[in-house]
Amino acid sequence: MSKECEIFLRELARLERNRRWQVEYAEFTAAYSADIEAAGLPLDSWKTF
């Protein structure tokens, strides 16, 4: 297999893993984002910048 083909397939596999992760954890990330929006970031009061 050519080097270019191998690089392309690795990138394709990486993109598919990311897509599947986003689908699998969509409900969790939405709920987490809602919590952060409602309550703010943890330890936000300690931020110095």
Enter the DSSP assignment of 44: G
41's CB contacts (< 8 A; 6+ apart) are 47
For residue 8, tell me if it sits in a domain: yes
Q: How many structural domains is the chain composed of?
A: 1
For residue 49, tell me if it sits in a domain: no
For residue 44, tell me if it sits in a domain: no
Computed over every residue of the chain, the mean pLDDT equals 94
Q: Work out the pLDDT band at 49, boundaries 50, 70, 90.
A: confident
For residue 47, tell me if it sits in a domain: no
Range of the domain at 33: 3-37
For residue 45, tell me if it sits in a domain: no
Q: Work out the pLDDT band at 36, boundaries 50, 70, 90.
A: very high
For residue 48, tell me if it sits in a domain: no
For residue 19, tell me if it sits in a domain: yes
Residue 24 in tokens: 């699998």
